[in-house]
Structure 1
Amino acid sequence: MTDANKARFNAEAAQWDSNPDIQQATRLAHKAYLSHLPSDPAILSTYDILDLGCGTGLLSLALAPSVRSVTAVDAAEGMIGALEAKLTAEDAAKNVLPICAMLEDPDDERIAVDPVTKEKVTGRRFDVVVSHLVLHHILDLRKLFATVFGCVKKGGKVMVTDFENFGPEARKFHPESKMDGVERHGILRDEIKTVLEEAGFVDVKIETAFELEKQVETEPGSGVMGPTMVFPFLICEGTKL
């Protein structure tokens, strides 16, 4: 994550959850992930999940009741602080571990801690690595997925969701005032498939997961939100043999 990204997300952390588009995109992503994960609760409840770029933990907390554990990682201190505040509630999930880190090493000791037992597990790996609305902020996707591949157990999966780059209009997903830290206007199907395969994943599948309708600026840079547009989101999945 660049300094521009960190600054933006630290500044927006307190109001992040109040954005209805973010809430809706997370609900739809959660539904998409569940449709691609084992449908048998007994199997899914054994899964350890790594959520990269977890933000305030909306997706992590949505997944937590269905799985054994969620390790929630984000480089923005403000976002992790917001998640930590949620986890102080009496009825909060006890199987979510928030970590403020720029994860670049699968053997990073910070993700070796088991959220359930709180014990360090050398060489800890995950059944599934998820990431939602993060890829368009990452300059070097190949470096990212090399790290992700190392974090996945043999037989495990990567599943990531982000909006699709369907042409010049995809730029409208962000107001012009929030372009700092945006490295690409959505993800390209062929590009992400190639990146996942080059990282070592097999059985790579790129599918439309859902569509999000959101307001866009009436004119680029005007700051005035008016018409709505429909943005397709992709779910990108691969398996580590």
Structure 2
Amino acid sequence: MTEPNQTRFNQEAANWDSNPSVVLATELAVESYLPFCSASFDILDLGCGTGLLSLLLAPHVRSITAVDSASGMIDVLTAKLSSSSSHQNVKNVLAVCALLQDPDDARLQIDPLTKATLGSETRARTFDLVVSHLVLHHIPDLAAVFKTIYGLLKPGGKVAVTDFEDFGPEARKFHPESKMDGVERHGIKREDIQKIIEETGFESVTVETAFELPKRVESEPGKGDIESGPTKVFPFLICSGTKP
């Protein structure tokens, strides 16, 4: 993730969970991910933010390694997992602050459930499923991130990512003009993302509408009146594939 993104998300971390559209989008995404989950699965949540998605998925899987490059977001998640938090009974989520580019990153070798670390003589830890929600539109090089995801997965493992769709010029309204720094694209295009995932080496690739998100937008670009602005419906895609 680029520096403007990290700066923005560090600044917004403390109030992130109070944004109703963020919470609603996450809840809808969880419903899309559940068919991919199993109680035995070890999952990596790439771009986990404050852990909204990870904490909702945690009861449905064995473990979740929650990774984000914004230290402010990870600090909020770590606080949630502390003994003083209402999430203190969640024992299978590990928060990791990392700009993840290497599938063999040593910071991923800790088992969130047992806290055991793989020895140097053991192969790098891999995952049954990698999920990522509302992250792709912030990433400059999508081919590179899917290559990393591919390396993180076990044979037969799956990727499932959700983001809003680039359905034309109106998709730009998803972000207010004041928050365009770090936005690499206004949603994802079906044909483009399918091609990237297939060219990475994934099989059984599907790209389909997962849900629609009603979201308040500026009445005019740059007006800054989101709280009183009109509501626009944004379609979200779920993009999935299986590592051979």
What TM-score, normalized by structure 1, do the two folds share? 0.96
Shift of 1:160: 0.1
- Aligned-pair identity in percent equals 64
Match of 2:203 in 1: 202
Structure 1 runs of 4+ with >4 Å offset: none
- Find out whether 1:150 has 2:151 as its counterpart: yes
SS of the residue aligned with 2:95? strand
Contact 1:162-1:235 at 8 Å conserved across structures? yes
Q: Which runs of 5+ in 1 are unaligned?
A: 39-43
Deviation per CA, 1:10-49, whole angstroms, max 9, x where unpaired?
0000000000000000000001111x325xxxxx110000
Offset of residue 179 of structure 1: 0.3
1:117-196 equivalence runs, <5 A: 117-121=114-118, 122-196=123-197
Deviations 1:175-204 (A, max 9, x none): 000000000000000000011011110100
Q: What residue in structure 1 maps to residue 239 of structure 2?
A: 236
Please identify, of 215-224 and 117-126, the stretch whose mean Cα deviation from structure 2 is larger.
117-126
Report the residue type matching 1:63 in the other structure: L
Match of 1:112 in 2: 109
Matched length: 235
Distance in 2 between residues matched to 1:185 and 1:53, nearest whole Å: 18
Q: Secondary structure at the match of 1:10?
A: helix
2:82 aligned with 1:82 = no
Task: Determine the C-alpha separation between the residues in 2 that align with 1:73 and 1:130.
Answer: 11
Q: Is the 8 A contact 1:86 1:92 kept in 2?
A: no
Q: Tell me which residue corresponds to 1:59.
A: 53
Q: CA deviation at 1:92?
A: 3.2
How large is the RMSD of aligned CA atoms in angstroms?
A: 0.9
Name the counterpart of 1:41: none
Q: Match for 1:102 among 99, 106, 122? A: 99
Separation of aligned partners in 1, 2:132 and 2:99 = 14
SS in 2 for 1:102: coil
In the alignment, the residues of structure 1 paired with residue 237 and residue 36 of structure 2 have an alpha-carbon distance, to the nearest angstrom, of: 16
Q: Which segment drifts farther, 210-219 or 84-93?
A: 84-93
